[in-house]
Each structure stands twice: as C-alpha cells, then as structure tokens.
Chains A and B, each alone.
Chain A
Amino acid sequence: MDVILELSDIHKSFGATKVLNGIDLAAGRGEFITLLGSSGCGKTTTLRIISGLETPDSGRVLLEGADVTDAEPNKRGVHTVFQSYALFPHMNVEANIGYSLRLRGVKKAEIKAKVKEMLDLVQLPGFESRMPGELSGGQRQRVAIARSVIDSPRVLLLDEPLGALDLQLRRAMQIELKRLQKKLGITFIYITHDQEEALNMSDRIAVMRNGLFEQVGTPGDVYDRPKTAYVARFVGSANIIERGGKTLAVRSEYLELEKDGAGYLPGVVKEKSFSGGMLRIAVDTEAGELVASRHGIDSPLAPGDAVGVSWAEKNAVEVEPE
C-alpha cells in the first residue's frame, strides 16, 4: 500500500479528560477510511490533529513520510469539510470556493475557470454569485466540498458532513460523495456515527471507542468478523451471548426462535415491533434480552410465548468480551 498519511501512537488530553489513548493508522493513497464511533469517542479530535487544528500530547503525524506533527494547519495540504460547513458568510460562492487559490496568488481568470469546473463537479452550475445564506443545507454542503477539493489536497477530512441533512438527501449524498472521491482519487478520512453510512462508503472502517481503535478493517471484516463485543453490537447490532466460557456475537437475523422448543437457550417473547421492513422480536433469556429480526410483519409468536433460542454455529462469531 502506498501510504499517504500515518498516525502513530497519538495521545491527547483536554485537562484531566483523556480523549485519545494511542491511535495508530496508516491510510493509503486514494483510500476512503471512515472513523466510526459514538459521540465523545475522539473522532473529531483525531481529525483536528490530522488537520493541525490541535497538536497531540505525544505521537507523530506523518504526511507522505514527512513529520508534520507540529506544522501549522496552513502548511499541510490537508483540508477539512466541517460539520457546520463553515462557509464564509461575507463571501459569495465563487469567493468561498476560490479562497485557497486566492491565498496562493493564482490568477483571477484561472480561479474563475477552476471554480466553474468545481461547481459543475458538485452539480451547482451557475451558483457563483449566490451568498451562503441563500443556499439550502445540501447546497452549502456541496459548496463546502468544492471549496476543500479545488486545490487537490493530499488528504480530505470530512467531519460528519451529512449529519445535518435529512435522510433522503443523506442517501443521495453518500452515493455522490463516493463517486466524487473515486473521480478525484483523494484520500478521504470520514467521520460518522452512522454504521450504515460507514458500511456503504468506506474502503476501510476504524471503529473507535474511548479514544482507541477497537478494530480497523474492511466493511466485511467489521460486519462479519467483529473482533470485539463492542464492534459486533455497534456495527452489526448483534446479540452478545456468553456461553460455555466464550463470548459469541450473533446478529439478529441469524437468531432462530422455536415455539415451545428447547434450542440452546430457553426464553419468553417480551415484545414485537416493526420498523424498516423488519419485525423485531425481543426475547427474555437467562443470557439477557436478545433480539431476533424477520422480514415481513407476520409472525406466529406473541408476547408471553415460551421459545427456544438457537443459531447455526457458522453464524456465531467468537469475540473479545467487553
């Protein structure tokens, strides 16, 4: 792998709060890496350390082999798409997108042409003279992306860029962002707390928790072969079952329920709920509450029914307990 960005043993505390506890990461050229984790896990801090808006307490940041740990943010060739977009409200779309080129003293005509090219790329042709206040959330998002990629940064950092958009727009933008990334060939470090988004877009996912990477791997790795109970629950919404001294992760669709049967575990149906085309059946067992899911809304089971819970051995993944 042609490594473009390397983080080694990054530690960072704010006062008494330890935010990062030894982060290691190597990102390849043109790779799409997602940092996935719940809020407060240290995702944004990691991003800010890469961009230079924060400096780590210890550890190194290497860009194309050069140590940039203490380099100013403007000397890194790394850009960020902020969660709030941070478009300059006093500049029109053209001035916003052309900002980085203007700083470098690129000729006006050249900037104008390049901005036009970028607006075509993000499908906002003719938006040059609009002010950020006149744009919708999705349009601002596109302008922010165009502004960050116009001078071909070595790495693009995206801090929950779709967080403020509604669900439909999010889906559309996921596809569009992925397409853009492929086309530009820029390394993306992408932050999200939405596992579906991470699974959809990434080449590799780093699942983050308490300032550490629990697992770094392809979407297939983290979804099908989770290393820890946390990853199994966070990414695959899996049931964690302690059995025979082992900790097993079984995803809800693999959990089999047999009415009045024995199975591996006896249980009682607690409640049923329907969402997203799936019926979710919660079962109380001695191993705690387990959730099974089925397609369709019909099920012969009703709350209060005694069931035997089982699963195929191949669908149970042994994971590290929490």
Chain B
Amino acid sequence: MKPKRRFRSETLMLIPLYVFTLVFVLGPLVYMVILSFLQRAETWGVTNEFTAQNYAGILEPVYLNTFVESFKLATLSTLLIILLGYPFGYFMAKLPNKWKARMMMLLMIPFWTSSLIRLYGWIIIFRANGILDKVLMGLGITDSPLKLLYTYPAVVVGMIYALLPFMIFAVYSSAEKMDWSLVEAARDLGASRIRAFFTVTLKMTLPGLLSGVILTFVPSMGLFFIADILGGNKVVLVGSLIQDQLMKAHNWPFAAALSVILTAVTSLLIILYRKMAGVKDLEGLV
C-alpha cells in the first residue's frame, strides 16, 4: 500500500535533479562530443561536416607532449598534496571538538576571496625582489633573488595552494568517522605504531584519501589559470591549451576534441583508482 505511493513522491522529488543533470551536465557533454567531430568554419563557428581530423591532430607531438606534461605536473602536485594534506586532515580529526571547528573556520576563510585574486597574491610573494626574496635574503639564506615567478616550482606551489584544502577536507571527513579503538586493538594484538597505521588507519581512511586524490588530480590536469598566472608562458597545460584553442584560435572543434580526451583520461583514472583500492564508496563522492 504505502510503499508504492512513497515511491512515486520520491520520484517526483528527484525530477529537478534529473532535469538539472540532463540540461547542465549531459547536454553540454553531448554537445562537446558532437562538436569535436565537426570542422572549423573559415571565419567563425563550425561547419556541419563530419571529420575525425581533430582527434588526429591531438596525436601531433606538440599536443601529446602537453598531455604528458600536464599529467606529470598533476602527479607531482597530487603527491605533494598527499604528503601535506593527509597528516593535516588526520591530526585535525584527533583535535578536541572546539579546535576542530576553529581549524575548519581557518580553512574556510580563504574561500571567501576569489581564488584568482588569491593567486595574484602569490605574484607579490614570488616576483623578483618580492616578499619571499626579501625574507630569504634578509635572513641571509640566499644572497640574490630567486626569481621564482614564472617558473615550474611557482606553478606547483600554486597548485598545492589551490587544491590542498580539498585533500584536507576529504581525509578529515574519513578520519573523523574513524573508530580509534580499532587502532588500540591492533596495538594490543602486537602491532607497532607504524604497522597499526598501515594495516588499520590507512585502510580505514583510504576512501577519504582517494577522494582527495581525485579532487586534486582531476582539477590539476585542467586548471589553466594557475599555470597562466604563476607560470607565464613557460608551463603549458591541457587546460591552457583548450582555453587558447577556444578563445584565441577560435578552433572550437579542436578544443572540444581536447576536452573529450581530457575527460576520458580523467574518467579512466577515477575508475582505475577505485579498482586499485577496492573502495566502493569514496568519501563525499559517488
């Protein structure tokens, strides 16, 4: 009697969600795929002729290399973010409740300002004779300016800065739910602190860690403005490439083809991560 009725009302409530997904997620995605098989028009827009030319174009070394570079940068950034973010989230979960709330607040505050504006702040820090150089030289650690702005390390720092909070939040939410008596049980059964960490804590927080990896790795493949602002023209990533093709070269089909490949690669990686870890549900992600 009741279940059927409830089923119907639940379905009704889900309709906006489906509509939203269809219009704003699936729609653009399909449009992008279609676009990627069309040809660029002489002046503006596209012609309705089917071609696989755009995908063939990606195989040119110049573009393939961009993919490889992006992948390397994303991997490096993600590794560093794990090293910084995992302990941060882990220890944050062990703080008394009052301090948890305070830390959460401190992590949220930067989000009140546009990330673009915050990145410009790094220019002031990194530029020759900027804050960083002045501090290092003042302390006698270096004797000449490092000139970090528009270098690879500057881009990596920017990536870490922009994406670290997501790793912290993901690990924290996993560690917060952790039953610490399991660690005590492991210790009690003869595990050293390190063994207990690797056999119990890490396994229990793996869903958080993996969602953190996805939340940092996927965006760092595509984030173009960090490389643009802090890397100048020296570091070209897939994201920047797509943006250039779209905004400067007006080659929409090629930009679409690049996007399709980027989406495919990242989706594949997500599937791989999940297979690898045997984790069914990722923290905060489906």
Contacts and interface: CB of A to CB of B under 8 A. Distances in A.
Interface of A: 51-53, 72-74, 78-80, 82, 84, 86-90, 99-100, 103-104, 147-148, 151
Given A86-B179, A88-B200, A90-B204, A53 B184 contact: yes
Contacts of B204: 89-90
B189 A99 contact: yes
Interface stretch (B48-56, B158-166, B167-175, B190-198): B190-198
B188 interface: yes
Contacts of A89: 182, 204
B96 to A, nearest CB: 13
B185 interface: yes
A74 B190 contact: yes
Interface residues on B, range: 10 to 19
A103 B195 contact: yes
13 contacts: A72-B187, A72-B192, A74-B188, A74-B189, A79-B189, A80-B185, A86-B182, A88-B182, A89-B204, A99-B191, A103-B191, A104-B190, A151-B190
B203 interface: yes
A80 B182 CA distance: 12
Q: From A78, A99, A147, name the one whose CB has the most chain B CB atoms within 10 angstroms.
A: A99
B181 interface: yes
B75 to A, nearest CB: 27
A150 to B, nearest CB: 9
B191 A90 contact: no
Contact of B187 (A74, A87, A148): A74
Contacts of A79: 188-189
B186 interface: yes
B188 A99 contact: no
B189 A147 contact: yes
B281 to A, nearest CB: 13
B188 A80 contact: yes
A53 B204 CA distance: 21
B205 to A, nearest CB: 11
Contacts of A104: 190
Contacts of B184: 53, 73, 80, 82, 86
Nearest to B192: A74
Given A74-B192, A88-B200, A53 B187 contact: yes
B185 A74 contact: no
A52 B199 CA distance: 20
Contact of A51 (B188, B192, B195): B188
Nearest to A80: B188
Contact of B190 (A82, A84, A90, A100): A100
A72 B189 CA distance: 11
Contact of B186 (A51, A84, A99): A99
A82 B182 CA distance: 10
B187 A90 contact: no
Contact of A74 (B182, B191, B199): B191
B182 A73 contact: no
B197 to A, nearest CB: 13
A181 B250 CA distance: 80
Nearest to B204: A90
A51 B191 CA distance: 13
Q: From B190, B191, B192, B199, name the one whose CB has the most chain A CB atoms within 10 angstroms.
A: B190
A124 B186 CA distance: 22
Given A86-B182, A88-B200, A90-B203, A53 B188 contact: yes
Contacts of B189: 74, 79, 99-100, 103, 147-148
A86 B185 contact: yes
A88 B185 contact: yes
A16 B191 CA distance: 32
Given A88-B200, A90-B203, A90-B204, A82 B185 contact: yes
Contacts of A147: 189
Q: List the 10 shortest-distance A-B pairs measured between CB atoms, nearest first.
A: A86-B185, A100-B189, A73-B187, A86-B181, A74-B190, A80-B188, A100-B190, A103-B190, A90-B203, A73-B188
Contacts of A51: 188
Given A78-B188, A103-B191, 16 more contacts: A51-B188, A52-B187, A72-B192, A73-B184, A74-B190, A74-B191, A74-B192, A79-B189, A80-B185, A84-B179, A86-B185, A87-B185, A88-B182, A88-B185, A88-B186, A151-B190
B177 to A, nearest CB: 11
Contacts of B199: 88, 99
A53 B189 CA distance: 12
A98 to B, nearest CB: 10
A74 B193 CA distance: 9
Contacts of A103: 189-191, 195
A89 B183 CA distance: 12
